[in-house]
Structure 1
Amino acid sequence: MEFLVVIAFFGYIYYLRNYADLRTPSEKEAAALSEGIKLYENEQTDDAFAYFDSRIRQKPKSCIAYLYRGLCQKRRGNFEAAKADMQSGLSYDDQVYTLHLELGKLYLEQNQPETALASLNKAVALSEETSAAPYQWRAKAFSQLGRETEAMRDVHHENELSQLLKTGPMASSASKIPFFDKRLAINMVIIILTSALLVYVVKNAESIHLPYLVAVFAAICIGFVEPYKGWLLAIMQCVLLLAGYFLFTTRPDDQARQELENFSLYGSMILTFAASFLGGFLKRALNMK
């Protein structure tokens, strides 16, 4: 037990140091490449291109570097090279809506509205109402295709979203991601079942090893399935463990057996918190690859 607690403690410290940042990998990349992005925004195209070209050589899988090198190529008039860079960026991370948006704009400017529409649909879906630009450009694609009703609908939504984002962009974004969702509710039901299993194991195990093993496995699963909300599930499991043990079981008369159950119960609670953080660490590590 002591060994597990030490590992969990240092794992938690490592987790806080390296994975407590809730930004997506692409957001972290954009922050790391802010110097080059500033060059591009200041229309220092040659310097920006050299910057992103160098970064791609250093880190060939940087989708944001490909995005901005592609934008530099586009500004230079090298449209095919720009398209190739944006497609390369999407091959490494196809969840970045700005890559789909810029690729869609590029196709649209080359009079390929059908191909542009496919990219712009993805941009609209991935932007999650955090930007009005995907609607603006999709409206243009619809218009080029003669689908005026859909184009006007997107124009109307673009105007509404632009006003909403001006008054409260953070509130608009946050409202799309509720804390209590269907997934969390399902996981709470699973926690009830695992807590009942843990109480049963605590009452029937002949040593502390089986309860600790079950607690660690269950808690790692908690962190893995809910890397951001696992703390709530861990608290819930500990509360259910205490309630289940003291309200629905009888304490043994034998002193040695009582001590064994106490060690199993409280040790399992400690490991629930520690291992849930390790599960979240594992999930984040896998997501960053």
Structure 2
Amino acid sequence: MEFLVVIAFFGYIYYLRNYADLRTPSEKEATALSEGIKLYENGRTGDAFAYFDSKIRQKPKSCIAYLYRALCQKELQNPDAAIADMQAGLSYDDQVFPLHLELGKLYFEQNQPDKALVALNRAVALSEETSTDAYHWRAKALKQLGREKEAMHDAAHEVELKAVLSTNPQTSTTSKAPFFDKRLAINMVMIVMTSVLLVYVIKNAESIHLPYLVAVFAAISIGFVEPYRGWLLAVMQCILLVAGYFLLTSRPDDRARQELENFSLYGSMILTFAASFLGGFLKRALNMK
């Protein structure tokens, strides 16, 4: 138990040291590449291109470096190279809104509205109603494809969204993903099974070590499958442990055995919260790489 507490403590310190920053990987990249971004924004396209070209050689999976090298290529009248860079950036991270938006704009400007529409559809989905640009350019692509009604709808929504954002830039009219979904329901079933296993181990183990070990592995699994909603599954597992133990099993007559089971039960509950917490951070850390 003491060993697990030490691991939990140093794990928390390690998290604060390395992963407390909740920005996305692309946002961190943009901050790290701010020098080159300023060069591009100040019109020093040649210098910016050299900067981002160097960064890509150093870090070949930097999607933001690919984005800005592509923008430089576009300014230097190399549209094919720009498209190739944007596609390379998306191959490493397809969740970056500006990459989809700029790729869609470039396809539109190259008179490829079909490809532009695909990229801009993705840009609209990723924008989460925080930018009007995706709607603006998608309306243009739809119009070029002769889909006038849809183009007018996007143009009208662009005006509406612009008014909303001017009033409150943080407002978003996009409905967020529901908290309770099919994945969470499936994971709740998993929690029922691990809770049954834990109660069985608590009732039959000869020491506290096996219940604690099972609790740690079960809780780490919680953190991995649900790095953001794991707290709910941890609460659910603790409730099921208490309910299952006190309502579905009989208390031992031997006092020593009863104390052993109590230590195993309450210790497992504590470890459920600690290990699920660490499991969630470990999953997020792996996702950042």
> Shared topology, TM-score over 0.5?
yes
How many residues align structurally?
289
What's the counterpart of residue 27 of structure 1?
A: 27
Question: Does the CA contact (< 8 Å) of 2:128 and 2:174 recur in 1?
Answer: no
* Paired letter, 2:167: T
What's the counterpart of residue 66 of structure 2?
A: 66
Report 1 or 2 for greater relative contact order, CA contacts < 8 Å, sequence distance ≥ 6. 1
1:264 lines up with 2:259 in the alignment:
no
Q: Helix, strand or coil: the match of 1:161?
A: helix
Question: Does the CA contact (< 8 Å) of 1:129 and 1:173 recur in 2?
Answer: yes
Aligned-residue sequence identity (percent) comes to 81
Task: Decide which moves more: 54-63 or 202-211.
Answer: 202-211
The C-alpha deviation readout for 1:220-255, integer Å capped at 9, x for no partner, is 111111112223322332243234334444332212
Q: TM-score, normalised by structure 1?
A: 0.90
1:3 lines up with 2:3 in the alignment:
yes
The C-alpha deviation readout for 1:22-51, integer Å capped at 9, x for no partner, is 322112212222232233223232332232
Question: Does the CA contact (< 8 Å) of 2:198 and 2:214 recur in 1?
Answer: yes
What's the counterpart of residue 205 of structure 2?
A: 205
Distance 1:70 1:227, change over 3 A: same
Question: Does the CA contact (< 8 Å) of 1:15 and 1:277 recur in 2?
Answer: no
What's the counterpart of residue 142 of structure 2?
A: 142
What's the counterpart of residue 84 of structure 2?
A: 84
Report the RMSD for the aligned CA atoms in angstroms. 2.3
Task: Decide which moves more: 257-266 or 15-24.
Answer: 15-24
1:252 lines up with 2:252 in the alignment:
yes
Distance 1:173 1:47, change over 3 A: farther
Distance 1:115 1:232 in 2: 42
The C-alpha deviation readout for 1:113-143, integer Å capped at 9, x for no partner, is 1121121122222223232211111111111
Alpha-carbon deviation of 1:168?
3.0
Q: Helix, strand or coil: the match of 1:115?
A: helix
Alpha-carbon deviation of 1:185?
4.6
Q: Helix, strand or coil: the match of 2:172?
A: helix
Q: TM-score, normalised by structure 2?
A: 0.90
Q: Helix, strand or coil: the match of 1:170?
A: coil
5 Å-filtered alignment, 1:209-228, equals: 209-228=209-228
Question: Does the CA contact (< 8 Å) of 1:70 and 1:81 recur in 2?
Answer: yes
* Paired letter, 1:125: A
What's the counterpart of residue 172 of structure 1?
A: 172
Distance 1:75 1:108 in 2: 16
Distance 2:24 2:188 in 1: 25
Distance 1:219 1:13 in 2: 19
The C-alpha deviation readout for 1:239-280, integer Å capped at 9, x for no partner, is 432343344443322121012112211221222122112321
Question: Does the CA contact (< 8 Å) of 1:12 and 1:274 recur in 2?
Answer: no
* Paired letter, 1:232: L
Question: Does the CA contact (< 8 Å) of 1:219 and 1:272 recur in 2?
Answer: yes
Give the unaligned 5+ runs of structure 2.
Answer: none
Distance 1:68 1:28, change over 3 A: same
